[in-house]
């Protein structure tokens, strides 16, 4: 079966005399609109208004300007299209279907069947359909990122634009300008109200990302009604102040002005990102009917759909109608253009690989998400040291690339000789995100979605600002690394506003996020080995400000046990353990000291290092039993955080030594004594657990 035949097989076939007689571009736009109406009505759930209003905007971009090959949707040099207003998901699904975007399996192999079939659209918002209520990355090829929480998509788009600039600066060579691309993000009033969008826009303006274009649907409507209830700022003025190039289109249906705006963006000479403000009106078939809630969750109803189709000159009772001419128009637009561009790029890449084989091999390794041979050979091993060092310090000695949210001197995350990523230095490795934790985390997702392995750093307490983006990284299985320092009351004098006590529990609650809290310098080194080998999960590396001893590994188990999440650090010299002491991070040394004190009193204690619950739970039952035998019910966990979640490992007889309140301001050693997190407290808890 040919590609054309396969396309037609999965779309509605319409006799020529039933097709509305209208301009092919308008026919295509109305096809998008009617698919949105029909899908939302069939689901009895969804948002028809925004896809209908933005159909001309998206159609013009896709079929006239987007560098995209539907038959190779993972082409690395493709332009990215991000639907930040994810509630308008039917707009994206309709585009993917009409453009004939191919499905991709989990190994990245392109399949012959469509990414989105008409049957998928008929089952919009139903269990098992890739046409979810909001676009979900990896559910279907062509969905570049998961959107839904407003502001996240535009935040991701900044990271994608950064990645394009970095890839181009690092791998392009004279005569081979081929690794960059443009990023388009369609956003709503709600996106621009969210703080993360402003953080991201500020970053983009500062970095002069002229390959980034946001298209703002200025429709004056939110779920409550008219935006003037809460939003009446001069958006254009704001973005000009942020360093953006701003264009206005007063009618979303004006295709000539849309084409001119996209053309101007592609040809612009200024080093600025672009905001195109498009005025749209969400209106339907009934006279003067304006949608104040349908854009945010209400089907139109059968009568209103028939009236609206009549306005379009569409068969009123036809459902999920896709005229042949529309499919041919898309195949002759984005399809033909994309195949031509992709074919030319592939030929140039073969020439590039012959001229620059080492760069080509490195780029291919990066795109495959693989690590180069011998990548970890220079990770240091640290000698035993009773004084030790802060785990943030040893982390800084291990790091090889990345960025930080303004706190690089404190988080120890600057790369010596790496240079700063900035205009004129887009190939450099250090990112300065400023005091924009949420914008940083959202852009890290965009970089990861573009094939990079980014990390971002800040104080652990400020994951409060990052959590929405961290959750989406886990949802999308993106290998983002978070370097989170100042992990407890151990940061001392800055006081309770900066001392995270509930944050370990909060991050451990996120599915797929691996939380690693290493206990000494060598566990830090092993934690990096673990983090970089996990290619489908984000990892949070939680590090201390205060010094911790570097343990004597000739007397204790090797730090390689970190890879299993929890491991037996030491056992009694003679006899089976009577009690198990479990420690993480800076409190591991307290468990070690308590074990020695108990041994002096003739009590046999096993000490377990437990840096990662998630990695431990991934081990088989036999291994978990070997570390935490069910028969030993006397257990103590020590962690300078709240107890939440520890009951699964402590059982009914176990004891917890940690925090039950917020922290306080004072020298860290005094704080540990004040809150009763000491080796002596662990000893007393062990005795109580044994009684």
Query: What is 357-374 written as a DSSP string?
Result: HHHHHHHHHHHTTPPPTT
Going by the DSSP 8-state scheme, the letter that residue 335 receives in this structure is I
In this prediction, residue 584 has a pLDDT band, given cuts at 50, 70 and 90, of: very high
CATH 3.40.50.970 holds for 3-148+185-342:
yes
Out of 2-11, 46-55, 170-179, 249-258, least confident range: 2-11
3-state secondary structure of 624: helix
In this prediction, residue 415 has a pLDDT band, given cuts at 50, 70 and 90, of: low
Return d(Cα 442, Cα 362) in angstroms, integer: 26
Q: Kindly report, residue by residue over 87-98, the tens digit of the pLDDT.
A: 999 999 999 999
In a 10 Å sphere around its CB, with 0-12 CB exposed, 13-18 middle and 19+ buried, how is residue 207 labelled?
buried
In this prediction, residue 226 has a pLDDT band, given cuts at 50, 70 and 90, of: low
Of 561 and 295, the one with more pLDDT: 561
Nearest residue to 239 via CA among 220, 219, 258, 216: 216
End-to-end CA, the chain: 75
Element (H, E) at 481: strand 481-485
User: Which are the contacts of 190, defined by CB distance < 8 A and separation ≥ 6?
Assistant: 85, 150, 151, 222
At residue 372, the pLDDT reads 81
In this prediction, residue 416 has a pLDDT band, given cuts at 50, 70 and 90, of: low
Task: Tell me the pLDDT of the chain averaged across its residues.
Answer: 90
Q: Tokens 């040099």 identify what position? A: 77
Nearest residue to 261 via CA among 214, 330, 207: 214
Q: Average pLDDT of 458-463? A: 95
User: Which are the contacts of 262, defined by CB distance < 8 A and separation ≥ 6?
Assistant: 60, 61, 64, 65, 213, 276
At residue 2, the pLDDT reads 35
Backbone angles phi, psi at 689, to 5 degrees: -70, -30
Assigned token pair, 18: 């039933």
3-state secondary structure of 593: helix
User: Which are the contacts of 429, defined by CB distance < 8 A and separation ≥ 6?
Assistant: 401, 402, 415, 418, 419, 421
Tally of CA atoms within 13 A in the half-sphere of 126 that contains its CB:
13
Assigned token pair, 180: 């960059």
Q: Kindly report, residue by residue over 475-531, the tens digit of the pLDDT.
A: 999 999 999 999 999 999 999 999 999 999 999 999 999 999 999 999 999 999 999
Q: Active site includes 437?
A: yes
Backbone angles phi, psi at 628, to 5 degrees: -125, 75
At residue 10, the pLDDT reads 42
Nearest residue to 321 via CA among 20, 70, 25, 99: 20
3-state secondary structure of 390: strand
Strand 221-222 with 225-226, pairing: antiparallel
Return d(Cα 476, Cα 471) in angstroms, integer: 9
Select 564-690's CATH number: 3.40.50.10790, 3.40.50.920, 3.30.70.100, 3.30.465.10: 3.40.50.920
At residue 425, the pLDDT reads 87
In this prediction, residue 231 has a pLDDT band, given cuts at 50, 70 and 90, of: confident
Out of 246-250, 368-372, 656-660, least confident range: 368-372
Assigned token pair, 5: 């035949």
In this prediction, residue 388 has a pLDDT band, given cuts at 50, 70 and 90, of: confident
User: Which are the contacts of 662, defined by CB distance < 8 A and separation ≥ 6?
Assistant: 496, 499, 501
Dihedral over Cα of 539, 160, 98, 281: its sign = positive
In the chain, list all ranges with CATH 3.40.50.970. Answer: 3-148+185-342, 385-549
Q: Average pLDDT of 672-678? A: 97
CATH number assigned to the domain covering 385-549: 3.40.50.970
Return d(Cα 529, Cα 523) in angstroms, integer: 10
Element (H, E) at 616: helix 613-617
| R_g (Cα) of the chain, nearest Å | 28
In the chain, list all ranges with CATH 3.40.50.920. Answer: 564-690
Q: Kindly report, residue by residue over 67-92, the tens digit of the pLDDT.
A: 999 999 999 999 999 999 999 999 99
Return d(Cα 491, Cα 499) in angstroms, integer: 7
Assigned token pair, 248: 């206005």
Distances (CA, A) of 179 to 55, 167, 168, 271, 591: 30, 6, 5, 18, 51
Element (H, E) at 514: strand 514-516
List the alpha helices (DSSP H) in 275-331.
302-312, 324-330
User: Which are the contacts of 539, defined by CB distance < 8 A and separation ≥ 6?
Assistant: 479, 480, 481, 482, 513, 514, 515, 516, 530, 531
In a 10 Å sphere around its CB, with 0-12 CB exposed, 13-18 middle and 19+ buried, how is residue 578 labelled?
middle
Question: Is the pLDDT assigned to residue 227 strictly greater than 70?
Answer: no
Going by the DSSP 8-state scheme, the letter that residue 332 receives in this structure is I
Of 392 and 254, the one with more pLDDT: 254
Q: Kindly report, residue by residue over 309-345, the tens digit of the pLDDT.
A: 999 999 999 999 999 999 999 999 999 999 999 999 9
**Widest CA span in the chain:** 95
Assigned token pair, 52: 């209908």
Backbone angles phi, psi at 423, to 5 degrees: -55, 130
Element (H, E) at 49: helix 49-64
In this prediction, residue 124 has a pLDDT band, given cuts at 50, 70 and 90, of: very high
Task: Show the beta-strand stretches assigned E in 596-650.
Answer: 605-609, 635-638
Dihedral over Cα of 226, 228, 230, 232: its sign = positive
3-state secondary structure of 144: coil
At residue 288, the pLDDT reads 44
At residue 369, the pLDDT reads 87
User: Which are the contacts of 107, defined by CB distance < 8 A and separation ≥ 6?
Assistant: none
Question: Is the pLDDT assigned to residue 106 strictly greater than 60?
Answer: yes
Question: Is the pLDDT assigned to residue 355 strictly greater than 80?
Answer: yes
Return d(Cα 231, Cα 107) in angstroms, integer: 45
**Cβ atoms 653, 635 nearer than 8 A:** yes
DSSP letter for each residue of 26-37: HHHHHHHHHHHH
Catalytic residue among 72, 199, 304, 437: 437
At residue 4, the pLDDT reads 38
User: Which are the contacts of 546, defined by CB distance < 8 A and separation ≥ 6?
Assistant: 390, 490, 491, 492, 586, 668
């Amino acid at each position: 079966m040919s590609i054309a035949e396969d396309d037609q097989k999965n779309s509605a076939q319409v006799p020529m005399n039933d097709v509305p007689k209208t301009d092919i571009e308008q026919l295509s736009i109305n096809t998008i609109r009617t698919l949105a109406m029909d899908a939302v009505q069939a689901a009895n759930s969804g948002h028809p208004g925004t896809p209908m209003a933005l159909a001309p905007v998206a159609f013009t971009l896709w079929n006239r300007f987007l560098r995209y090959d539907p038959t190779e949707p993972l082409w690395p040099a493709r332009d990215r299209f991000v639907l930040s207003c994810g509630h308008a998901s039917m707009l994206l699904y309709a585009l993917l279907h009409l453009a004939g975007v191919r499905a991709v399996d989990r190994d990245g192999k392109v399949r012959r069947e469509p990414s989105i079939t008409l049957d998928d659209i008929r089952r919009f918002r139903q269990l098992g359909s890739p046409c979810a209520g909001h676009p979900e990355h990896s559910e279907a090829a062509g969905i570049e990122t998961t959107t839904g929480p407003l502001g996240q998509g535009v935040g991701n788009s900044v990271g994608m634009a950064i990645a394009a600039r970095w890839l181009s600066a690092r791998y392009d060579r004279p005569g081979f300008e081929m690794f960059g691309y443009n990023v388009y993000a369609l956003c709503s009033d709600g996106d621009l109200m969210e703080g993360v969008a402003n953080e991201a826009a500020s970053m983009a303006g500062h970095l002069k990302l002229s390959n980034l274009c946001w298209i703002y649907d200025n429709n004056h409507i939110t779920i409550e009604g008219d935006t003037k209830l809460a939003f009446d700022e001069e958006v254009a003025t704001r973005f000009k102040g942020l360093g953006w190039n701003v264009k206005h289109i007063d009618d979303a249906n004006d295709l000539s002005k849309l084409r001119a705006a996209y053309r101007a963006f592609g040809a612009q000479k200024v080093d600025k990102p672009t905001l195109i403000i498009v005025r749209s009106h969400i209106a339907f078939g009934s006279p003067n009917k304006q949608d104040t809630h349908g854009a945010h969750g209400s089907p139109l109803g059968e009568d209103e759909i028939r009236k609206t189709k009549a306005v379009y000159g569409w068969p009123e009772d036809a459902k999920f109608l896709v005229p042949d001419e529309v499919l041919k128009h898309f195949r002759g637009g984005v399809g033909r253009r994309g195949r031509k561009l992709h074919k030319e790029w592939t030929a140039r890449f073969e020439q590039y690989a012959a001229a620059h084989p080492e760069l080509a091999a490195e780029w291919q390794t990066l795109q495959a998400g693989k690590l180069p041979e011998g990548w970890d050979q220079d990770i240091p091993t640290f000698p035993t040291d009773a004084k030790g060092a802060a785990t943030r310090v040893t982390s800084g000695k291990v790091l090889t690339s990345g960025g930080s949210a303004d706190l690089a001197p404190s988080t120890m995350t600057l790369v010596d000789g790496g240079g700063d990523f900035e205009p004129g230095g887009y190939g450099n490795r250090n990112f300065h995100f400023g005091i924009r934790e949420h914008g940083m985390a959202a852009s890290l997702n965009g970089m990861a979605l573009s094939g990079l392995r980014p990390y971002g750093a800040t104080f652990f307490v400020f994951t409060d600002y990052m959590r929405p983006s961290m959750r989406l990284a886990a949802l999308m299985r993106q290998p983002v690394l978070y370097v989170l320092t100042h992990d407890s009351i151990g940061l001392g004098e800055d006081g309770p506003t900066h001392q995270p006590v509930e944050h370990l529990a909060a991050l451990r609650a996120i599915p797929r996020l691996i939380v690693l809290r290493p206990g000494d310098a060598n566990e830090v080194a092993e934690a990096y080995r673990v983090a970089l080998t996990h290619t489908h999960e984000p990892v949070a590396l939680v590090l201390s400000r205060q010094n911790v001893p570097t343990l004597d590994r000739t007397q204790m188990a090797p730090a390689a046990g970190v890879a299993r999440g929890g491991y037996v650090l030491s056992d009694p010299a003679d006899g089976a353990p009577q009690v198990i002491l479990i420690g993480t991070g800076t409190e591991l040394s307290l468990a070690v000291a308590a074990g020695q004190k108990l041994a002096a009193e003739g009590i046999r204690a096993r000490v377990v290092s437990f840096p990662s619950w998630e990695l431990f739970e991934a081990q088989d039952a036999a291994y978990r039993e070997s570390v935490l035998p069910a028969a030993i019910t006397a257990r103590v966990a020590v962690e300078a955080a709240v107890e939440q979640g520890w009951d699964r490992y402590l059982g009914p007889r176990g004891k917890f030594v940690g925090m039950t309140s917020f922290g306080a301001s004072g020298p860290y050693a005094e704080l540990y004594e004040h809150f009763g997190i000491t080796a002596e407290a662990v000893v007393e808890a062990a005795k109580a657990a044994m009684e």
